[in-house]
Amino acid sequence: MKLEEEIAKLYRSWSGSDALKIEKIAGSGSYRQYFRVIGASGSVVAAYNADVRENLAFLKFTRHFRAMQLPVPLVLNTSPESDFYLLEDLGDTTLYSALTKLRRKENYIHPDIVKIYLQVIEFLPGFQIIAGHSIPFSYCYPRPAFDKQSMMWDLNYFKYYFLKLARVSFDEQMLEEDFNALTGFLLEAPGDHFMYRDFQSRNIMIHNNTPWFIDYQGGRKGALQYDLASLLYDAKADLPEDFREQLLNHYINTVMKLSSLEETKFRRYFDGFVLIRILQAMGAYGFRGYYENKPLFLQSIPFAVKNLKILLDRDQIPVHLPMLRKALGEIIGNPDFSSIKAPSSDLTVKIFSFSYKNGLLPDESGNGGGFVFDCRALPNPGRYPEFADLSGKDRLVMDFLRKEPEVDAFLNHVFSLVGQSVKNYTERGFSNLMVSFGCTGGRHRSVYSAEEMAKYLLEKFNVKVELNHTNLKS
C-alpha cells in the first residue's frame, strides 16, 4: 500500500476525519520520510521509517521528555507496527533557517538568534541531566552508550567514507593507533548522562518564538561535552568563535546550577569531543556526497575544514595523534576542500516583483506562470512618509517589515510551497519556474518578498535565480 494511504488511515484513526492534503516534506540526511497532513483537525506531521527499533527509541524518549516538560513534539498516533507515527506540527522554521535568514554578513549573529541560542543552551542540560537521570536507556539504538565501540564506528566512518574516498593519504595502522589513543582519552570523561547525539541547528525548531527539539532517536548514555560540541561546531551554522565561547561559558554556568560540574575537567575534554564530532560529520558528508553521489552534502566540507583548522591551531587536546594530525593537515592544506563548487543544476527560478495596477506578468517560459503571491494584505510601509521614496531593498523598509509577524508568517508559508516545487522540479529535470510577488505599487512589500525568496532559494537549493523588480528603475 502506498505511504500516503497508510498515513491517511493513521490520520483518520486519530482525528475521526479524512486528510484533505498530504504533502511530502523535504528530507535531510536520514532515510526517514516526513509528510505534512492537513485536515479538518488541523495540520500534523507524519513520519515513516522502516527501522522500527529506531522509531521505538524516538517514541519512548519523546514521551519521557514530554513528561519532564521539555519542548518536544506531542506524539498523536502510531501504527500497530510502529513504522508510521503522527506528531504535533511545529512548522518549518529551524534554528538553522532562522540563523541564515537573519545573517547579514560574516561573523554576525542577529540579536534574536543570540536569544534563541541562549535558550537552547539552557534547555540542553534538561535533556542531559534532569531527564537523563531517569531515561529508559534500554531503548537506546543502536547502542545504549557512547562507548569505545560507538566512537570507533564514528572514526572508521570518517576513515572509510571521507579519507579513502577523498584520497587523503595515511598509514592505516598508525591511524588505528591514534583512534585508540583518542577514544581512550575521551572515555576518561564522565559519561553517565543522556547524550542527544545529533544536537545541531537543523534539529531545533523555532515555534512560537521558542526552541523545540526533534531527532534525538540516536540518543544514548554519554558525556556532556558531545552535544555542546555538536551545537557550537555545527558546520554550516558557522558560528563566530567569540559567540561559541559565550555559549560555552553560559552552558557551564547553567550546568553548575544543576550538578557538581568541575569546569577545568569539563574543558580538558571538550576539544576532544569537538574533534570526534567533526570527524563523524565529515564521514557523513563523504558517505552522502562521494559514495551516494549527492553533491549538495559536499557543500558542508569547507565549513568543517575551517573548524578543524581552528581546533588544531588551538592545540588543546592533550593526546599524541601523529597520523591523524598529518591526515587532517593534508585536508586543511588542500584548497580543493576549502572551496567546493556547487553542483550544476538546470533549473532557473525567475522571481519578479510587480504592481497589480499594471496587471499580472506574462510567462515567457510557456509553463503557465508558476506562483503568484499577493502581498497586499501585509503591513504597507508605503503609507508612511519616511518610506515613500524608498523600496523593499532599503534597510529602513527591510527593518520595518522584519518586525511585523504577519510578514514572517507569510514568507514561511511561501518558502514551504515554493521549496517543495523547487525540490520536485530539480529531481525531475525541469528548467524553469516563475515566482511573482505583487503589491499595490510594486515597490515595497513585493520587492522585499522577492528579495527574501531569492536569498532563501540560493541558501537552500542549488538553482539559478533571476531577480527582476519591474517597478524599480535599474
Q: Does residue 343 lie in a domain region?
A: no
User: Mean pLDDT, the chain, as a whole number?
Assistant: 92
Q: Does residue 413 lie in a domain region?
A: yes
DSSP per residue, 80-117 = TTSSEEEEE---S-BHHHHHHHH--STT---HHHHHHH
Same domain (yes/no): 419, 445: yes
Q: Does residue 257 lie in a domain region?
A: yes
Q: Please give the Cα distance from 399 to 152 (Å, whole number).
A: 49
Among 45, 71, 88, the domain boundary falls at: 88
Q: Does residue 474 lie in a domain region?
A: no
Same domain (yes/no): 166, 289: yes
CA distances to 5, 25, 195, 428 from 424, in Å: 20, 11, 35, 6
Grid coordinates representing 217?
532517536
Determine the pLDDT at residue 474.
53
CA distances to 5, 267, 282 from 299, in Å: 36, 30, 11
Cβ-Cβ contacts under 8 Å for 309 (sequence gap 6 or more): 332
The sign one gets for the Cα dihedral 410, 411, 417, 418 is positive
Among 50, 66, 88, the domain boundary falls at: 88
* Under 8 Å between Cβ of 55 and 48: no
Question: Domain residues for 48?
Answer: 3-88
Phi, psi of 212 (to 5 degrees): -125, 155
Same domain (yes/no): 333, 363: no
Residue 241: HSE in the Cβ half-sphere, 13 Å Cα cutoff: 8
* Under 8 Å between Cβ of 218 and 141: yes
- The string of pLDDT tens digits covering residues 347-379 is 899 999 999 999 988 887 766 678 999 999 999
Determine the pLDDT at residue 34.
92
CATH of the domain at 166: 3.90.1200.10
Same domain (yes/no): 390, 372: yes
Q: Please give the Cα distance from 39 to 148 (Å, whole number).
A: 47
Same domain (yes/no): 42, 60: yes
How many domains does the chain contain in total?
3
Same domain (yes/no): 129, 255: yes
Tens place of pLDDT for every residue, the chain, 474 residues?
588 999 999 999 999 999 998 988 876 667 789 999 999 989 999 999 999 999 999 999 999 999 999 999 999 999 999 999 999 999 989 999 899 888 877 788 999 999 999 999 999 999 999 999 899 899 999 999 999 999 999 999 999 999 999 999 999 999 999 999 999 999 999 999 999 999 999 999 999 999 999 999 999 999 999 999 999 999 999 999 999 999 999 999 999 999 999 999 999 999 999 999 999 999 999 998 888 877 778 889 999 999 999 999 999 999 999 999 999 999 999 999 988 765 556 789 999 999 999 998 888 776 667 899 999 999 999 899 899 889 999 989 998 998 898 998 999 999 999 998 888 787 677 888 999 999 999 999 999 999 999 988 987 887 889 999 999 875
Same domain (yes/no): 58, 146: no
Q: Which of 327, 216, 219 is nearest to 279 (CA)?
A: 327
Same domain (yes/no): 161, 267: yes
Same domain (yes/no): 210, 285: yes
Same domain (yes/no): 155, 170: yes
Same domain (yes/no): 272, 355: no
Among 36, 62, 88, the domain boundary falls at: 88
CA 74 from chain centre, in angstroms, equals: 20
Determine the pLDDT at residue 357.
93
Burial grade of 92 (CB within 10 A; 0-12, 13-18, 19 or more): middle
Q: Does residue 358 lie in a domain region?
A: yes
* pTM exceeds 0.95, yes or no: no
Q: Does residue 324 lie in a domain region?
A: yes
Peptide bond into 405 cis (omega under 30): no
- The string of pLDDT tens digits covering residues 235-286 is 999 999 999 999 999 999 999 999 999 999 999 999 999 999 999 999 999 9
Q: Does residue 249 lie in a domain region?
A: yes
- The string of pLDDT tens digits covering residues 73-106 is 999 999 999 999 999 999 989 999 899 888 877 7
Q: Which of 71, 66, 84 is nearest to 19 (CA)?
A: 84
Same domain (yes/no): 41, 135: no
Q: Does residue 105 lie in a domain region?
A: yes
Q: 343-354 b/e with 16+ CB inside 10 Å = b?
A: eebebebbbbbb
CATH of the domain at 21: 3.30.200.20
Determine the pLDDT at residue 100.
87
